[in-house]
Structure 1
Amino acid sequence: MSGVGRRVASGRVTVEISQCSHVDDELVAAFAHLIPQLSSSSPPPDAEALGAIVDNPHSVLFLARLDGAIVGSLTLAFYRIPTGVKAWIEDVVVDDVARGNGVGEALNRAALDEAAQRGAKNVSLTSRSTREAANRLYQRIGFELYDTNLYRYKL
């Protein structure tokens, strides 16, 4: 299930980060467990939806493991515009039982490394203001709050 792997020691635990390269029952079950912790309005993706992410050359699905179990994920999407290649981090989720072990930071750092290797000009993300720990993490890593208006049109 991994493309590029890395191990990050954080206190007493070692977080293993990899790029997902195929979909299996373990992955589908992990997302069935993780997505409800991220969003109450979006159903977990099925194998076909996960396959569309994994097979897309413009996205990378990162997985975090503790003791061999998938405990987090992050999706990094790339797009080209006239001013260059940009990247966007989406759907960062860490299992409640694994929080505080450096999983979110390890996922984000892996995504930033990949974005740099692919020549992205910058990496953006959004985070609800109520997710205080996540916002502190993003600022600690080096993300800067960008003054803009975000508009969304629901289809």
Structure 2
Amino acid sequence: MAVKITEATEATEATADLVEAFERLTPQLSSSNPPPSAEALESIASSDATRLLIARSEDVIVGSLTLVLVRIPTGLRAIIEDVVVDEQVRGQGVGRALNEAALELARDAGAVTVDLTSRPSREAANRLYLRLGFEIRDTNVYRYRL
């Protein structure tokens, strides 16, 4: 399927097509987490701390990215989370469009850096991040399970 998207846009409410898209896309992102409910998507889309970006091709949502913006004592922190592009359209610029839109939003909000993490097994995504100008940080990432 050839994809044509003009830009990534911000989802500001949990529409039926947004819920359907996450039902389809979430399993491509995570095998251990269920798709978010309409209520969860509404909370994300309406939060001041998150920007839910989507990419469409012919009115079908084919990708999503969440930009987290949080004020901390050292400044505005911007973090890209949960980037997913439908496997049928990967490699056609959807991830680039989503990331470029997120970087522009972060810059406009006043952030000076944007962080993200990506599993090493996501080779194409990691190549994209490097092409976009992201640099690998010399840091440890820790997780505490509750």
> Is 1:85 matched with 2:80?
no
Relative to structure 1, the CA distance from residue 80 to residue 12 in structure 2 (aligned partners, 3 Å threshold; closer, same or farther) is closer
State the shift of 1:119 in Å: 0.1
Q: Is the 8 A contact 2:5 2:94 kept in 1?
A: no
Report the equivalent of 1:111: 102
Q: What's the CA shift string for 1:5-52, capped at 9, x where partnerless?
A: xxxxxx973343110011111111100000000000000001000011
- In structure 2, the CA distance between the partners of 1:85 and 1:30, relative to structure 1 (3 Å rule), is same
**Residue in 2 aligned with 1:25?**
16
The structure with the greater share of residues assigned to strand is: 1
Tell whether the 8 Å contact from 2:5 to 2:55 is kept in structure 1 after alignment.
Answer: no
Q: Which runs of 5+ in 1 are unaligned?
A: 1-10
For each residue in 1:69-107, what CA deviation from the matched residue of structure 2 results, as whole angstroms up to 9, or x when unmatched? 100000000111111101000000000111111000000
1:43 has 2:34 as partner: yes
Q: Which residue of 1 aligns with 2:4?
A: 13
Q: 2:46 is matched with which residue?
A: 55
**Residue of structure 1 in register with 2:131 after alignment:** 140
TM-score normalised by length of structure 2: 0.96
Which residue of 2 is the match for residue 6 of structure 1?
none
Contact 1:17 1:106 in 2 (8 A): yes
Inter-partner Cα distance in structure 1 for 2:72 and 2:84: 28
| TM-score, length basis structure 1 | 0.90
Higher RCO (CA-CA < 8 Å; seq separation 6+): 2
Aligned to 1:72: 63
Aligned partners of 1:15 and 1:103 also within 8 Å = no
What letter corresponds to residue 16 of structure 1 in structure 2?
Answer: E
1-side partners of 2:79 and 2:143: how far apart? 16
Secondary structure, counterpart of 2:20 in structure 1: helix
Sequence identity, in percent?
Answer: 56
SS in 2 for 1:14: coil
SS of the residue 1:36 aligns to: helix
- Flag structure 2 segments of 5+ consecutive residues without an equivalent: none
Runs of 4+ in 1 over 6 A off after TM superposition: none
Contact 1:38 1:93 in 2 (8 A): yes
What secondary structure, in the 3-state scheme, does the structure 2 residue paired with 1:13 have?
Answer: coil
